[in-house]
Chain A
Amino acid sequence: MTKPENKADEATEVIHQQRRQCLCKLTKFVGAAGIAAAMWPLVSALGPDEQTLADGEPLDIPLDNVAPGETLRRVWRGKLVFIRHRTAQEIALANALDGVTRIDPQADAERVKPGHEQWLVVYGYCPHAGCIPNEQNGDNPGWLCPCHGSEFDLSGRVTRGPAAQNMQVPDYAFHPDGNTLRIGVKDV
């Protein structure tokens, strides 16, 4: 290795040294960037695949054959959805209970679409621990969760604990003719 002979050579040597170090760092950085880019497809492969995405698209549900008082059970994106066709009495009862529910206050009108108050669409799970509530008719119509005894009214609002939230309402919208429900979109 040639030794620097005077100050000028020393200075050049220092510059060369810095150049080498800089280039070395640059090469390592570019290499690391390449490895990170190569890891990306492996990570993204873990996400939902095309089939799952396609199966999870908004679902159209025809409402023709659902009589008043009946509840339709459908599964969308792996989750159970209750679609209840409420009678006029049930709608009136739900509205009357607006001020009574204290645990998670919410007006019935906020939980249904204007013009389609007869259709109550909620996820079929108790917000407490995820059990599926059973339908109740009689004194306290609505739903009763068999796991820990939470009760829900005809609007899916919690009237008795231990649940602390109302039954969740998914995004949904009605087709213009009013006979088909699309779950998963905010409007058609």
Chain B
Amino acid sequence: MLKRLFIIALTVLSASFAADAAEQNTPTPERQNWSFSGINGAYDRDQLRRGLQIYAEKCRACHGMEYLDFRSLIRPGGPELSPEAAKELASGYVFPAIGDDGEPTERSGRLNDRLVSPYTNPQQAAFLHNGIVPVDLTYITRARSYDRGFPQFIFDLFIPYTEQGSDYVYAILTGYEEGDPTMMKNRYFPGGVTKMARPLTDGEFSYPTRADGQPVVPQTEAQYAKDVTAFLSWAADPDRATRQQTGGYVFLYLGIFLALCLITKRLYKRQSGAGR
């Protein structure tokens, strides 16, 4: 009786929630296939390098990544640049310094520095962009999400689906309206109009080529968006692979421990029970 009521209640509730979700004006981003999603996911090193290339050639003009340091571009699990390549990237950045004579001066970036915003301060950034400061991109894929609705958000725990942010960023980058002269209308952005003009176009960046001279992946806007979003996802969560591996070992241990506890319990029950 109790269980029947419970099931009825659940059905009624989920029906009402589904109706609510359909009323939204902004479409929800689609779930993409990422190499790093799921329990066994891992970042694709080449994709991260391509994403870094796009960031360095385009996005970096306005957006900083102030929590990401050049040294982490060398470490395993990421784009795994050579130290020389990372140093070269760093030397393109300028940082304030104080000379031995006490006067403010400048120095070029080193490995321990971070990929700071190109602007001196937020006021300058806002001044140059009509009052909006281009957002810092280090944690953008963790700082964005979208409503999955009931009961999907419960299933997300078990899949596990943690790439809401990545899907949202990819949707924004590819969601611009075709043929829009302002290049600002975006169907996934709340309100429908962004302050960032469409950043990616087909063929804009040259990817590494294969032996036959073709680029390793198609040089389309969608592919660019995929690669740069993967890079941003790595920047927001660089330790993902290690963490999931450790998680695997922890579960193995807990499984063994659980089995031991259950066997102990059963043995003691046999002792005190009617005997089997």
Asked if B21 CB lies within 8 Å of chain A CBs, one says no
Contact B267 A27 (CB under 8 A): no
Contact B267 A23 (CB under 8 A): yes
Contact A34 B260 (CB under 8 A): no
Which of B112, B253, B254, B264 contacts A23, CB < 8 Å? B264
User: In the assembled complex, how far is the CB of residue B260 from the closest CB belonging to chain A, in whole angstroms?
Assistant: 4
Contact A31 B264 (CB under 8 A): no
Q: How far is the CA of A30 from the CA of B268 in the complex (A)?
A: 19
Instruction: For chain B, residues 60 to 88, give those with C-beta under 8 angstroms from any C-beta of chain A.
Output: 69, 71
Q: How far is the CA of A16 from the CA of B276 in the complex (A)?
A: 13
User: In the assembled complex, how far is the CB of residue B71 from the closest CB belonging to chain A, in whole angstroms?
Assistant: 6
The prevalent SS among residues of B at the interface is helix
Q: How many residues of A contact B (CB 8 A)?
A: 17
Contact A54 B71 (CB under 8 A): yes
Q: Given A23-B260, A27-B264, do A1 and B112 touch, yes or no (CB 8 Å)?
A: no
Q: Residue of A at shortest CB range from B260?
A: A27
Contact A34 B69 (CB under 8 A): no
Contact B257 A55 (CB under 8 A): no
Asked if A19 CB lies within 8 Å of chain B CBs, one says yes
Contacts of A37 in B (CB 8 A): 253
Asked if B40 CB lies within 8 Å of chain A CBs, one says no
Q: How far is the CA of A88 from the CA of B199 in the complex (A)?
A: 63
Contacts of A23 in B (CB 8 A): 260, 263-264, 267
Contact B112 A54 (CB under 8 A): yes
Asked if B193 CB lies within 8 Å of chain A CBs, one says no
CB<8 Å pairs between A and B, sample of 23: A1-B272, A2-B274, A16-B270, A16-B271, A19-B267, A20-B264, A20-B267, A23-B260, A23-B263, A24-B264, A26-B260, A27-B260, A27-B264, A30-B260, A31-B257, A34-B254, A34-B257, A51-B112, A54-B69, A54-B71, A54-B112, A55-B112, A57-B112
Chain B interfacial positions (CB closer than 8 Å to A): 69, 71, 111-112, 253-254, 256-257, 260-261, 263-264, 267-268, 270-272, 274-275
